[in-house]
Amino acid sequence: MALFSMLGARDPGATPLPRLFARGGLALVIGAYTIYTLGPFLWLASMSVRTTGEISLDHYAWPSPFHWEQFRIAWVDSNFATYFWNSTLVVVGAVAVVTLVGAAAAHALARYRFKGNRLIYAVLFSSIIFPPQITLISLYQILVDYNLYNSLLGLTLVYISLQLPLTVYLLEGFFARIPQDLFDAAKMDGYGDIEIFRRIVLPIGMPAIATTLILNFIQLWNEFLFAVVLITDPDKRTLPIGIRAFMGDHFQDIGMIAAGVMISVVPVILAYIFFSEKLIRGMTAGAVK
């Protein structure tokens, strides 16, 4: 110890005070942020097992008793099973097509030199810049013209067109970083372009693909504006519009809205848990070697 003091060096056994403060401060910030983000969710969860009357009396009270039947009422009596199925059909279909077509397009833009390559890229990029709402009226008209208005297929196509540019943009950036030598090696090993895409690009690009997959899934699962404009039939509603049905002009059934939101949030959480590791790898790709 004396020797360390004499040399002006740190005692390796002791934790320096500034570092302790830094760690404490970091824990404080993370804790505060967790409460800030988790708080509303827990509040919503508590409201989902309380009736609207109980909520009106005390917004923040602990549920007593737990009204689990609210979930049954939402699922069975309020048609949430249908909304859930509609949402699943539209979103899974759109995400699947967006992922496959987006990955193929991104691969083509990243790897092949052809005339107009950068022009296509610029057009795709420009469509990301503009807010999608400006296309709403023209999309409505197109769907009416093609008898796709008020149909799940029409909504799926709209969702595909909404998410495809960003997906291509994100994946192109990732795919362009896959070394050319891997493609050349696969060619020498006897593989053609489609096989190389399937056996090399897709597996290597999986972190990026998972990232776009989950981002698209969350965004479309929660999408309200296009669904509310393009779907009017109650049997074809998606979950966000279904939840909206609990809101009247004069009365809002907060308890049932909370139960509906809890039902709708489950797939998002499941998707996130399933893909979270790949999502993080995709987001930090290139940051660390």
Partner 1 sequence: MSVVILDKLCKRYGTSQYAVDHVDLHIRDGEFMVLLGPSGCGKSTTLRMVAGLETISAGTLSIDGRVVNNVAAKDRDIAMVFQSYALYPHMSVGENLAFGLRRRKVNAAEIERRVKEAADILGLGALLARKPSALSGGQRQRVALGRAMVREPMVFLFDEPLSNLDAALRVNTRNELIKQHHRLGSTMIYVTHDQVEAMTMGTRICVMNGGKVAQIGAPLEVYWEPADTFVARFLGSPPMNLFTAPLRGGPDGFLLDEGPFHAPLIRWSAAALAPYADRKITFGVRAEDLHLDPAAAGEGLRGRIRGKAFAIEPLGAETLVVLETPLGECTARLPRNVTVRPGDEVDLAFAASAAYLFDVETGRAIPGERTAQGALAAARGLQ
The continuous run of DSSP H or E covering 264 comes out as: helix 254-283
Structure tokens at 186: 């696969």
Return the sign of the alpha-carbon dihedral for residues 39, 41, 46, 50. Answer: positive
Task: State the minimum distance, in angstroms, from the CB of residue 187 to partner 1.
Answer: 5
Based on the shown chain and the rule CB under 8 A, indicate whether residue 181 belongs to the binding site for partner 1.
yes
User: Scanning the structure block, which residue is given the tokens 């296509």?
Assistant: 120
Based on the shown chain and the rule CB under 8 A, indicate whether residue 184 belongs to the binding site for partner 1.
yes
Based on the shown chain and the rule CB under 8 A, indicate whether residue 189 belongs to the binding site for partner 1.
yes
Q: Render 214-245 in DSSP notation, one character per residue.
A: HHHHHHHHT--HHHHHH---GGG--HHHHHHT
Based on the shown chain and the rule CB under 8 A, indicate whether residue 200 belongs to the binding site for partner 1.
yes
Based on the shown chain and the rule CB under 8 A, indicate whether residue 42 belongs to the binding site for partner 1.
no
Based on the shown chain and the rule CB under 8 A, indicate whether residue 235 belongs to the binding site for partner 1.
no
User: Scanning the structure block, which residue is given the tokens 């290597």?
Assistant: 204
Among 28, 35, 185, 247, binds partner 1 (CB under 8 A): 185
Task: State the minimum distance, in angstroms, from the CB of residue 251 to partner 1.
Answer: 55
Task: State the minimum distance, in angstroms, from the CB of residue 261 to partner 1.
Answer: 38
**Contacts of 159 by beta carbon, 8 Å cutoff, 6+ apart:** 90, 91, 94, 98, 220, 223, 226
Based on the shown chain and the rule CB under 8 A, indicate whether residue 182 belongs to the binding site for partner 1.
yes
Strand partners, 285: 288
Window 206-225: residues binding partner 1 (CB under 8 A):
206
Strand partners, 226: none
Based on the shown chain and the rule CB under 8 A, indicate whether residue 188 belongs to the binding site for partner 1.
yes
For residues 184 and 277, which CB has a smaller minimum distance to partner 1 in the complex? 184
Based on the shown chain and the rule CB under 8 A, indicate whether residue 179 belongs to the binding site for partner 1.
yes
Binding site for partner 1 (CB under 8 A): 179, 181-182, 184-192, 195, 200, 203-204, 206
